Amino acid sequence: MRTIIFSSQTYDRDSFLAADCPAGLELHFQAARLSLDTAALAEQHEVVCAFINDDLSAPVLERLAAGGTRLIALRSAGYNHVDLPAAKRLGLAVVRVPAYSPHAVAEHAVALILALNRRLHRAYNRTREGDFSLHGLTGFDLVGKTVGIVGTGQIGATFAKIMHGFGCELLAYDPYPNPEVLALGARYLSLPELLAQSRIISLHCPLNEQSKHLINRDSLAQMQAGAMLINTGRGGLVDTPALIDALKDGQLGYLGLDVYEEEAQLFFEDRSDLPLQDDVLARLLTFPNVIITAHQAFLTREALGAIAATTLHNIATWAAGAPQNQVEG
């Protein structure tokens, strides 16, 4: 069974080749991002394996189905980039990786918090240039600070455990309270209450119609002046242009992003020799209290191994007529 893996980087190839590949499965790695222009590469491939920034809109799915594709195997938990009604209409099954390593993403969120708080990025650049002064590098103790967690699934719960270990007070917002988070002493509040009471806010919820631009000009105004916002979830959770005004007037004191709403044409590629065409991202990168990483929170050996193993398992069970981790349209 021929499988083409779009948007595959060296680390993807290494993790898939190291995994236990089912018999009869033929893997083809394609560095190109899946789009209407590249969909022809999937001709005569029964399975298309796609990542978060691949285009799985109706026109692309139609082209894939016409070329013989029968299964879309996502190597991600999120599936907001898939036109599920179109997939159902075309008879395309969709499977995903519901969990890989919640620790990878949660720990990256904590890394952003620590780096922003203690100005590690600024200190690193200073000392490399021989500047050993400390002005402008003052941080704050995390112990006793109030941390708001938006979304308390596996990743949010793991993040909560880590911040509880720092001695933080935990607030949470989620339609479905998690007993593990409650056991840490967290209090579930409405989103406006959480925003108003939290010194640090971290987003760990899925992107859907209800959560799109959950953080916008109105919700930013509800935060404490100088609050820290961390997003390792999905770029669309935040109305990015609204962040610039909040940073300029000091309403937002710190910003850590691992995801960006318009990242599809930017992230996962070396563009250092090209001018940055995205004016919003370029403006964000000028602020000294902003750290942006290029969607690397998932990038640990353990997470990559789990993603590869689950994806191959999903393909094998689908081929056997007993699909697992299927996304229903």
Active site residues: 234, 263, 295
Q: Listing from the earlier edge strand, what are the strands of the sheet with 146-150?
A: 187-188, 169-173, 146-150, 200-203, 227-231, 252-257, 290-292
Measured CA distances, 241 to 110, 217, 218, 263 (Å): 24, 9, 13, 14
State the CB neighbour count (10 A cutoff) for residue 266.
Answer: 16
Beta bridge partners of 148: 171, 201
CA dihedral 59→65→69→71, nearest 10 degrees, is: 80
Instruction: In whole angstroms, give the CA distance from residue 154 to residue 176.
Output: 12
CA distances from residue 92 to 69, 274, 302, 318 in whole angstroms, order as listed: 8, 38, 30, 11
Strand pairing of 71-74 and 26-29? Answer: unpaired
Q: How far apart are CA 316 and CA 314, in angstroms?
A: 6
* CA atoms in the 13 A half-sphere facing the CB of 188: 15
Q: How many C-beta neighbours within 10 Å does residue 12 have?
A: 21
Strand order in the sheet with 93-95: 26-29, 2-5, 47-50, 71-74, 93-95
Residue 21 has which token pair?
A: 């590949």
The DSSP element (H or E) to which 280 belongs, if any, is: helix 279-284
